[in-house]
Amino acid sequence: MPPRVALATYGGAPNLAPDDRRLIPALEHVGIDAMPIVWSDQSVSWRRFDAVILRSCWDYHLRFEEFQSWLSALEHDGVRLWNSPDTVRWNADKRYLLDLARRGAATIPTMMAVRGHPEAVGSIAAAEGWPQFVIKPAVSASGYETYALRQPLDAAARAAIARVSAIGDVLVQPFANEVPESGELSLIFFDGEFSHATVKRARAGEFRVQTEHGGTVEATTVDPVIVAQASDVIQLLDAPPLYARVDGIIREGALLVMELELIEPNVFLSYQPNAAHRFAAAIRARIAQR
């Protein structure tokens, strides 16, 4: 019997996001039966799968306690999950950027304001000398409750800060002008090997590059020096991830990391002809390690 893999998704895309669907025939090509399964479906017996791969779980940040319980249940039952539960827990809170910086990664400056203290957000930006800055919840995805604000803060900015602060701890970063000017790079790796890259651009009048907010994506080529810098970031992790997306900008000729996506990133399989097959081969190799 061929190995069976569950591609975990969410109720908004029960058959996977369109890009992720390319993985099913690619896995079939390497002898693996794969099917999309909604992660929050409590009727599923996950133990019947040889592995679970997190894919289009794009509501995890809105149901975070439930998602964490699901991770723990898989762990308890000995179900192999990629990326691993420990990696997912670490990556779910954007404090991981502070950890990466401590380990030597070049990241965009990041500060945190504790939940329920909205006054701290403006104070941080002022103390750091950031006339324009970005805030988002420490646990978030897809541009959720993400705002670009300017000093001095007006009533709308203070209301946005209050909303985000009520959700949880708040990430505060300087606004990166490179994003609206040149776009944000995404470098995709499977089992530590570089696969391909895309550039994401925001629509006019917007700074968020996600397609949910009108952003666009296109394939791009990246200087090998930048690829090596992204690879170095992945090497800083405690364990090699099955898949990783390094998002960043180029500043003074070097990569500045904005995000390291290890949970449910779109890995843009449709933007490189062999990407789905590379991902499938990495999954096959992991399963064979048992």
pLDDT computed for residue 290 by the predictor? 66
**Do 260 and 191 fall into the same domain?**
yes
CB 81, CB 36: distance < 8 Å: no
**Do 102 and 183 fall into the same domain?**
yes
Smallest CA-to-CA distance from 245 within 212, 226, 267 is with 267
- Which residues contact residue 186 at a Cβ distance below 8 angstroms, ignoring those fewer than 6 apart? 197, 198, 199, 200, 245, 246, 247, 265, 268
**Do 264 and 183 fall into the same domain?**
yes
CATH of the domain at 23: 3.40.50.20
Q: Quote the CA–CA distance of 2 and 78 in Å, as a whole number.
A: 19
Task: Report how many domains make up the chain.
Answer: 3
Q: Which residue has the higher pLDDT, 216 or 33?
A: 33
pLDDT computed for residue 185 by the predictor? 97
Rounded to two decimals, the pTM is 0.94
> In the chain, what is the greatest distance between 2 CA atoms, to the nearest angstrom?
64
C-beta neighbour count of 174 within 10 angstroms: 17
**Do 10 and 72 fall into the same domain?**
yes
Residue environment code for 135-167, b if the CB has 16+ CB neighbours within 10 A, otherwise e? bbbbbbbbbbbbbbbeeebeeebeebbeebbeb
**Do 102 and 227 fall into the same domain?**
yes
Instruction: Supply 113's token pair.
Output: 């304001």
In this model, does residue 143 exceed pLDDT 80?
no
Smallest CA-to-CA distance from 269 within 42, 47, 53, 12 is with 53
In the numeric block, the tokens 């002809």 are attached to 273
C-beta neighbour count of 104 within 10 angstroms: 10
Which range, of 21-35, 129-143, 178-192, averages the lowest pLDDT?
129-143
pLDDT tens for residues 68-94? 999 999 999 999 999 999 999 999 999
pLDDT tens for residues 257-277? 999 999 999 999 999 999 999
Structural domain including 254 reads 93-106+178-270
In this model, does residue 47 exceed pLDDT 80?
yes
CATH of the domain at 245: 3.30.470.20
Which range, of 101-110, 125-134, 169-178, 200-209, averages the lowest pLDDT?
200-209
Q: What is the mean pLDDT of residues 186-192?
A: 97
